[in-house]
Amino acid sequence: MTQTMRWFGPADPVTLANIRQSGATGIVTALHDIPNGAVWTRDAIAVRKEMIEAAGLAWTVVESLPVHDDIKRGVPEAAKRIDAYVESLRNLAAYGIDTVTYNFMPLLDWTRTDLAWEMPDGARALRFELVAVAAFDLHILRRPDAARDYAPDIVAAADARFSAMSAGERDTLSRTILAGLPGSEEHFTVAELLTAIQRYDGIDIDALRQNHLAFLNAVCPVAETLGIRLVVHPDDPPFPIFGLPRSVSTEADVAALFMAVRSPANGLCFCAGSFGVRADNDLPGIVRRLGDRIGFLHLRSVQREQNGAFHEAAHLDGDAGMAAIVAEVYALQQRTGRAIPMRPDHGHQMLDDLNRRTNPGYSLLGRMRGLAELRGLERGISHNFRWLK
């Protein structure tokens, strides 16, 4: 695997020099200062690429080139948004970018309810708790008819949770849920989120899928001629949230995308954490069966809890079964002769990073630990593979 780390640009507290010392050879980044839907110019791309290469690192993977909400909703403005997307792809291809990550989640990227959940060893992890989401949805967001989307026991627990929370705790929960992705181009207030959700009235999972296919049918032919593989990141969490549909949550969802749009430019960002939230996703099997379409790997593990909760586990722990995943990736690379870009995802905040400003999930030391563990795992599998031959 080609070892990379995500970098959020010049404002990231983790520097390029830090990343190079971790052993990574590549950078995964995006132009977060450019609003969603605007064109990424060649000049802006060139400045970022020169900065990365001056640090002795390579940039061939974008994460992410956002898909504007107009495209996801399939409104008339979608056509001009797609035109801008295509222009950005052309500009990226001119600078050697061959993998572009995107997602098709309405409004919010990954959602968590605690950005500093304390682990038994004192490190801090990201955590999702459905009861906390319901408390926010029912009592802070006050989405009409939200109670219909939760089991009665979750509603009762959410009512009790909200009643017991202080004003400060309620504010922290709101800010955590609204945080979305570190470096995200879109930010909402509670009122703005409610308004944005209401714009999705009438858009169910089938409509969202059709809008996704329309996007791919428009963009993939151009990406194919440019030598770019578009890789879709699965939903995180992989189920509907706040009444919004989500349509890239299972192997069947992804396989249907590949069947509908057969272009080799239509690929997958395999995220072990996102897929791993669902016990019905067979993670090694996804790599084995869909591996030819995988263009990028997010290797992390979650520990599933009761009532839909989960937290980010150490990279080799939790429910992912990382050894089996990496073994399938190694076999895939041997079969295809290509090295797939990989990054350790959502590391724990630990050691000196506990006292530093960090992007949630993207502190240096936790990811460096994950990268070292994954590197060692791959080398062990490689050695065993050659010995068996």
Spatial contact of 2 and 25, defined as CB atoms under 8 Å apart: yes
pLDDT (average), residues 340-350? 97
**Catalytic site residue from 69, 70, 345, 353:** 345
pLDDT (average), residues 111-124? 96
- The pLDDT value recorded for residue 110 is 86
Tell whether the model's pLDDT for residue 102 goes beyond 80: yes
Tell whether the model's pLDDT for residue 185 goes beyond 60: no
Q: How far apart are CA 239 and CA 376, in angstroms?
A: 33
Cα dihedral 37→293→99→81 (10° resolution): -10
319 annotated active-site? no
- Give me the phi and psi of 294, to 5 degrees please: -80, 125
- H-helix segments, 13-97: 16-21, 42-54, 69-73, 78-93
Q: How far apart are CA 42 and CA 46, in angstroms?
A: 6
Tell whether the model's pLDDT for residue 309 goes beyond 90: yes
**Catalytic site residue from 68, 311, 315, 346:** 346
Q: How many helices (H) and strands (E) would you count in the chain?
A: 14, 12
pLDDT tens digits for range 242-297: 999 999 999 999 999 999 999 999 999 999 999 999 999 999 999 999 999 999 99
Structural domains in the chain, sorted by start = 2-109+195-388 (3.20.20.150), 114-189 (no CATH)
- The pLDDT value recorded for residue 385 is 74
- The pLDDT value recorded for residue 388 is 54
What is the edge-to-edge ordering of all strands in the sheet holding 124-128?
A: 114-118, 124-128, 310-313, 301-304
Q: 109, 114, 120: which is closest to 269 by C-alpha? A: 109
pLDDT (average), residues 70-83? 97
**Catalytic site residue from 68, 212, 233, 348:** 233
| Residue 168 burial class via C-beta count within 10 angstroms: exposed 0-12, middle 13-18, buried 19 and up | exposed
In sequence order, the 6+-apart residues with CB closer than 8 A to the CB of 64 are 30, 100, 101, 102, 103, 233
In sequence order, the 6+-apart residues with CB closer than 8 A to the CB of 186 are 36, 66, 107, 180
- The pLDDT value recorded for residue 186 is 61
Tell whether the model's pLDDT for residue 359 goes beyond 60: yes
32 annotated active-site? no
> Could you tell me which residue, 216 or 187, shows the higher pLDDT?
216
68 annotated active-site? no
- Say what the pTM is: 0.96
- The pLDDT value recorded for residue 145 is 94
Q: 241, 245, 36, 247: which is closest to 141 by C-alpha? A: 241
233 annotated active-site? yes
Average pLDDT, the chain: 95
Tell whether the model's pLDDT for residue 389 goes beyond 90: no
Amino acid at position 324, single letter: A
pLDDT tens digits for range 364-388: 999 999 999 999 999 999 988 766 5
Amino acid at position 23, single letter: G
Spatial contact of 298 and 314, defined as CB atoms under 8 Å apart: no
CA 307 to chain centre: 22
Q: How far apart are CA 125 and CA 316, in angstroms?
A: 15
- The pLDDT value recorded for residue 387 is 61
294-299/124-128 β-pairing: unpaired
Does the CA dihedral 40-44-48-50 come out positive or negative? positive
298 annotated active-site? yes
Q: How far apart are CA 157 and CA 175, in angstroms?
A: 21
Q: Which of 22-36, 174-188, 275-289, 308-322 is predicted with the least confidence, judged by mean pLDDT?
A: 174-188
150 annotated active-site? no
pLDDT (average), residues 136-164? 97
Q: Percentage of the chain surpassing pLDDT 70?
A: 97
**Catalytic site residue from 271, 315, 319, 348:** 271
Encoded tokens for 213? 């296919």
Tell whether the model's pLDDT for residue 149 goes beyond 80: yes
310-313/2-6 β-pairing: unpaired
The continuous run of DSSP H or E covering 266 comes out as strand 266-271
Confidence of residue 187 (pLDDT cuts 50, 70, 90): confident
Q: How far apart are CA 30 and CA 38, in angstroms?
A: 13
**Catalytic site residue from 68, 298, 311, 315:** 298
